[in-house]
Structure 1
Amino acid sequence: MSKKSEEHEVDLRGTLISVFFVGIVIVAMWVAVYLMYVAR
């Protein structure tokens, strides 16, 4: 049982890192588009 929860914990950490990475990419794209709009 403890083996299962350890694996589950690692999976959740990987998911959290992936979600943060995707969020940062989306925010970076929005900032880039905004800066292009302002520079126009």
Structure 2
Amino acid sequence: MYVPEQWKVFCFFLVFVLTVITIGRALCGGTMESKKIGA
């Protein structure tokens, strides 16, 4: 099964953005959110 190059770039970009958002939340609001939840 051949995957076009643009799909590889798109998937990589999507994963990269999700990772950045997750890390950003963990660094910025992660501690506050955990306190609200009570974890």
Q: TM-score, normalised by structure 1?
A: 0.63
Aligned-pair identity (%)? 13
**Higher Rg:** 1
Name the Cα RMSD after superposition: 2.2
Residue ranges of structure 1 left out of the alignment (5+ in a row): 1-7
Residue ranges of structure 2 left out of the alignment (5+ in a row): none
Q: Which residue of 2 aligns with 1:21?
A: 14
Task: Detail structure 1 runs of 4+ shifted over 6 Å in the superposition.
Answer: none
| Higher fraction of helix | 1
Aligned residues: 31
